[in-house]
């Protein structure tokens, strides 16, 4: 292999002494369209150049030139792939999946002729899907989110452009709370109502699987869902007695009692049992301010404090 007489930079040249029909040596070539799979080994055959004749004698010089010429070298009438351990032919790393080089043929006594070799780099499933970001994804969802609504989207990427399907791992701790209706979308739907008062955090695993490959590579993401408090609880007088009915827990307010002596004016606040009249917002995460009112009764006036 030699390259001193090629006029262009990035050139690979080969001088051939061939039996050719005079004048038909370079004219026997033409533009070539071919393809090769990414990650092919060094020396893999890319294309074979056609014979140029069978009579007479003459010298030919073939050159590969252009920005993509470094990917190839000439071996007789064969164009072969030029890669190394540190420089593989990776389709995802190329600016374009089509490589183009100029094949210049110079023949004694004739002007050089230039042809094109166009090489399509074929995709190989050499990339697995992956979720971007942290190893554990976090989403915040209000407990008032509507059942059957989309509450978050899980999106993975595949450098090979393979079609991905998303599924909920049914073995994950809180899989029953979520589902995916459209597997290609990655949109996660709330399957049952949330309740901040009983669960503040849920965990589910979403898996992305290649649909159109034989390898069916996949990747999983652990999703931590923080349940945010919503204003869905009434104030509760304390101390309350929790009671459960059909799976629901409600707070039964106490009956406050106080003793007064007939005919005597009470100079200070009444002392109630089982404790002072006090209420808190049932939404512990909100702790809204509480106001108190006295409703009309047989022995009292209305009032607000």
Rounded Cα gap, residues 103 and 137, in angstroms: 52
Q: How many domains does the chain have?
A: 3
Half-sphere CA count of 170, side-chain side, radius 13 A: 0
**pLDDT at res. 13:** 72
Locate tokens 């990339």: which residue?
Answer: 127
What's the mean pLDDT when you consider all of the chain?
82
**Does 237 share its domain with 224?**
no
Q: Which residue has the tokens 């074979």?
A: 48
Same domain, 115 and 158: no
Q: Cβ distance 91 to 123 under 8 Å?
A: yes
Which CATH number covers residue 38?
2.60.40.3430
Residues 6+ apart with CB under 8 A from 288: 231, 281
pLDDT digits (tens, 9 = 90+) for 267-282: 778 777 787 777 776 6
pLDDT of residue 2: 39
| Residue partners of 68: CB distance under 8 A and separation at least 6 | 99, 100, 101, 119
Domain boundary residue, one of 93, 122, 151: 122
Tell me: pLDDT of 38 over 60: yes
Within-domain flag for 16: yes
Domain range for 278 is: 233-305
Query: Token pair 């004048």 is at which residue?
Result: 23
Residue 97 in domain:
yes
Could you tell me if residue 258 is inside a domain? Answer: yes
Q: What is the pLDDT of residue 84?
A: 93
- Establish if 1 belongs to a structural domain: no
Q: What is the pLDDT of residues 2-23, one digit of tens each?
A: 333 444 445 667 665 444 444 4
Provide the CATH number for the domain around residue 161.
2.60.40.60
Strand pairing category for 218-228 and 201-210: antiparallel
Q: Which residue has the higher pLDDT, 224 or 77?
A: 224
Instruction: Please give the span between the terminal C-alpha atoms of the chain, in angstroms, as a whole number.
Output: 100
pTM given for the model: 0.62
Do 182 and 237 belong together in one domain?
Answer: no
Whether residue 16 is found in the same domain as residue 116: yes
- Does 6 fall in a domain? no
Task: Kindly state whether residue 103 falls inside one of the protein's structural domains.
Answer: yes
What is the per-residue pLDDT across 220-252, written as a single tens digit (0 to 9) for each? 999 999 998 876 666 777 787 777 766 666 777
Picking from 210, 228, 246, the residue at the C-terminal end of a domain is 228
Which of 228, 255, 277 is the endpoint of a domain? 228
Same domain, 118 and 24: yes
Regarding whether 243 and 223 lie in a shared domain, the answer is no
Q: 52 near 18, Cβ under 8 Å?
A: yes
Same domain flag for 152 and 240: no
Same domain, 80 and 148: no
Alpha-carbon dihedral sign for residues 257, 263, 264, 268: positive
Please name the residues in contact with 114: beta carbons below 8 A apart, sequence gap of 6 or more. Answer: 102, 103, 104, 105
**Over the stretch 150-198, which tens digit does the pLDDT of each residue have?**
999 999 999 999 999 999 999 999 999 999 999 999 999 999 999 887 8
How large a percentage of the chain has pLDDT more than 90? 51
Query: Phi/psi of residue 245, each to 5°?
Result: -140, 120
């Amino acid at each position: 292999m030699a390259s001193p007489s090629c006029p262009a930079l990035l050139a690979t040249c080969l001088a051939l002494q061939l039996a050719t029909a005079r004048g038909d040596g370079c004219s026997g070539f033409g533009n070539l369209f071919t393809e090769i799979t990414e990650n092919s080994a060094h020396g893999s055959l890319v294309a074979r150049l056609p014979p140029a004749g069978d009579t007479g004698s003459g010298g030919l010089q073939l050159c590969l030139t252009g920005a993509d010429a470094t990917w190839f070298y000439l071996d007789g009438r064969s164009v072969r792939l030029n890669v190394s351990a540190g420089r593989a032919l990776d389709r995802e790393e190329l600016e374009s999946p089509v490589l183009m080089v100029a094949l210049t043929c110079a023949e004694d006594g004739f002007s050089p002729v230039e042809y094109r070799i166009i090489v399509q780099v074929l995709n190989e499933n050499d990339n697995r899907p992956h979720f971007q970001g942290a190893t554990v994804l976090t989403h915040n969802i209000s407990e008032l989110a509507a059942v059957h609504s989309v509450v978050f989207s899980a999106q993975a990427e595949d450098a090979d452009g393979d079609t991905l399907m998303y599924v909920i791992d049914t073995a994950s701790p809180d899989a029953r709370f979520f589902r995916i209706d459209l597997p290609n979308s990655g949109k996660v739907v709330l399957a049952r109502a949330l309740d901040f008062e009983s669960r503040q955090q849920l965990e589910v695993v979403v898996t992305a699987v290649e649909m159109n490959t034989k390898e069916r590579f996949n990747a999983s993401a652990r999703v931590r869902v923080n349940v945010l408090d919503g204003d869905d609880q009434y104030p509760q007088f304390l101390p309350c007695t929790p009671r459960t009915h059909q799976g629901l827990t409600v707070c039964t307010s106490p009956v406050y009692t106080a003793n007064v002596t007939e005919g005597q004016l009470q100079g200070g606040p009444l002392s109630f049992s089982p404790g002072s009249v006090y209420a808190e917002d049932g939404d512990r995460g909100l702790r809204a301010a509480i106001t108190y009112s006295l409703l009309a009764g047989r022995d009292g006036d209305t009032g607000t404090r």
